[in-house]
Amino acid sequence: MKAAVLHEVNKPLVIEDVSVPNPGPREVLIRTRVAGLCHSDLHFMEGLYPHPLPAVLGHESAGVVEKVGSDVTYVKPGDHVVTCLSVFCGTCDNCTTGRTVLCTDTTVKMLPGQSNRLSWAREEKLHQFLNLSSFAEQMLVHENAIVKIRKDMPLELAALIGCGVITGYGAVVNTAKVQAGETVAVIGCGGVGMAAINGAAIAGAGRIIAIDTNPAKLQLATKLGATDIVDPARGDVVQQVRELTGGGVHHSFEVLGRKETAEQSFAMLAAGGTATIVGMIPFGQKIELHGFDFLRERRIQGSSMGSNHFRVDMPRLVEFYMRGKLHLEDWISAKLKLSEINEGFASMKAGKTLRSVIMFDS
């Protein structure tokens, strides 16, 4: 099969011939139909997060099951599936207490890059990325890395649910547990930020403030549920939010992964408010907060993949789309071939796209 391989950080991906074996006892072979370009992939491409190389990146994807291993009962060939990097073992302490997104066995025993599922005609090892590697025509994954979906759901839209949508929506609904009528601010209107805005609207938030410098993204944010927009170019972001809300928001969501915006997300809280950090702040970077603010019971927390229970959450998101509550068609800026993947990431870095997807059947 063809796959996009990262050989060195800050270098273009290279299309290579790669092989996968037949599925093992609990493995599933998937024909990849769609893979989204996620900013998280770019973090690894730029070396902001470490990963063993060379590797086949990609983790936001949907496809069709081709083969299943001997012990697989969850899916069969022909099933449509969405992948998720929140692979779970089902037996560790976190899994058995309902926090499968924090599974310790997939962190300890199935470290990214340690799988031997990928091979090529070279002596060096080829690493799998986040137990998925979806920038390839096929994926060989553990059965606990996928969820079945209804076949009438368009796969190019279903792929978005696999990372960007579940991360933003889940941060609002699962991690922060936004209540009806509460005020919400979302810093960054990329794919994940849009999902947070749409999720806040579904949750019934009373006021949703979208914060971004891109006018086109702010306009789309209003279609997805934002009631107010804030452009950082027009002045202090925290001050603008405080003026809009008369003192701050109940919930803020930082989805850019930057030190300054993480600090702003905490500063714009009302007393008793919660800041949720969704973005991937570069590895090793620290943030600074005013200690006094904690005396008014302001909180800051992280969110891992939207604190998802993806086997439950993703089919529900599909239903939200089918009922017109989740506006996924507005997200896709470009449909690309695998050979155009580097151009797609260049457009992402330049802020020209909301979401680009690789269409493997085109």
Tell me the three state secondary structure of residue 219: helix
Is 163 catalytic? The answer is yes
In whole angstroms, give the CA distance from residue 362 to residue 335: 9
User: Beta 2-6 vs 55-56: how paired, if at all?
Assistant: antiparallel
In whole angstroms, give the CA distance from residue 106 to residue 108: 6
In whole angstroms, give the CA distance from residue 359 to residue 144: 24
Catalytic residue, chosen from 43, 80, 250, 309, is 43
Percent of residues in the chain assigned helix, strand, coil, to nearest 5: 35, 25, 40
In whole angstroms, give the CA distance from residue 144 to residue 110: 12
Is 92 catalytic? The answer is no
Catalytic residue, chosen from 38, 84, 92, 103, is 38
Taken in order 45, 47, 49, 51, the sign of the CA dihedral is positive
Taken in order 192, 194, 196, 198, the sign of the CA dihedral is negative
Q: Per the structure block, which two tokens stand in for 121?
A: 């005609």
In whole angstroms, give the CA distance from residue 131 to residue 233: 40
Structure-token match 């690309």, residue found: 336
User: Beta 355-359 vs 332-336: how paired, if at all?
Assistant: parallel
Is 40 catalytic? The answer is yes
Is 95 catalytic? The answer is no
Catalytic residue, chosen from 59, 127, 251, 309, is 59
In whole angstroms, give the CA distance from residue 100 to residue 174: 13
Catalytic residue, chosen from 84, 89, 163, 189, is 163
In single-letter form, the type of residue at position 214 comes to N
Is 43 catalytic? The answer is yes
Q: Are 142 and 74 in contact (CB under 8 A)?
A: no
Q: Per the structure block, which two tokens stand in for 76?
A: 């069969």
Closest CA to 164 of 13, 45, 335, 328: 328
Helix/strand/coil (H/E/C) assignment for every residue in 247-290: CCEEEEEECCCCHHHHHHHHHCEEEEEEEEECCCCCCCCCCCCC
CA distances from 102 to 91, 264, 310 (A): 12, 27, 12
What are the residue numbers of the active site?
38, 40, 43, 59, 163
